[in-house]
Amino acid sequence: MIATKDSFEPHSSEQLPASKKVFVEGKIHPDVRVPMREIEVSPTKSYTGAVTTNAPVRVYDCSGPWGDPAFTGSSDEGLPALRAKWIQARGDVAEYDGREVKPMDNGYLSGKHAEFASKAEKNRLVEFPGLLGQRRKPLRASKGHPVTQLWYAKQGIITPEMEFIAIRENMGRAKMADMAKDNVRNILDKQHAGSSQLASSEYSPSVFRRFPQRIPTEITPEFVRAEVAAGRAIIPVNINHPESEPM
């Protein structure tokens, strides 16, 4: 018996070794669940033979639903609408009927051209299976103002997307101890200060004193909002792509 390709290839739902997917919940918006990958760290054995257990380390996890063992969907169904409730809860969008798909959208000059080209097996137009079911209607602004993260940021609103980004970018920095002794600087929780963070030092270049860094030790949702409002950061999330994770 010849093994099939699917029988030995890894599947997207399989977990990576020595790690698991976990979710960190938001505080401002409790329904925010930021995916992280918790990686096991092997115990440390000293020269005396003593064994020290190390806590797991959490890092980014951008695998989407495919890295979640609880996810039962398939690629044919498309990605889950992660942000759909957030978008609707703001109450400033409305559904509308979009235009019908035209042959030109798929690279054909006319309907006859599409029909002729589809007769050849290699050129046959196969519609994505997941789109044969119920489709979402497109959304547009309904309250007379933009529905962008920039607009919300300028109004002083911290959106779920902003808190999502803050949690993901922070990755537990608030819990990191600022150790100063040389004998503990090699621990995993130690965050070494960058050159710009030592602007007060006489050995630092003068440019760091004239232009101090703006990134704080802890990334907060308010910091994300302020950076977006000032135009120093962007959050590319569209109301018609609710499946996208905020970045």
| pLDDT value at residue 75 | 72
CB 237 within 8 A of CB 244: yes
User: Residue 203: how many CB atoms within 10 A of its CB?
Assistant: 6
CB 24 within 8 A of CB 34: yes
Task: Kindly indicate the confidence band of residue 180, based on its pLDDT and cuts at 50, 70 and 90.
Answer: very low
Residue spans per domain, the chain: 12-98+137-190+199-229, 99-136
Residue 133 backbone phi and psi in degrees, to 5: -85, -155
- Of 186, 204, 207, 187, which Cα lies nearest the Cα of 195? 204
What predicted TM-score, i.e. pTM, was given to this entire model? 0.76
| pLDDT value at residue 183 | 44
Angle between helices 221-229 and 160-170 (to 10 degrees): 110
Q: What would the pLDDT profile of 133-153 be if each residue is shown by its tens digit? A: 467 899 999 999 999 999 999
Q: What would the pLDDT profile of 5-35 be if each residue is shown by its tens digit? A: 666 555 666 778 899 999 999 999 999 999 9
| pLDDT value at residue 202 | 66
Distances (CA, A) of 233 to 13, 185, 221: 33, 32, 13
Q: Does residue 227 carry a pLDDT above 70?
A: yes
User: Residue 180: how many CB atoms within 10 A of its CB?
Assistant: 8
Task: Kindly indicate the confidence band of residue 101, based on its pLDDT and cuts at 50, 70 and 90.
Answer: confident
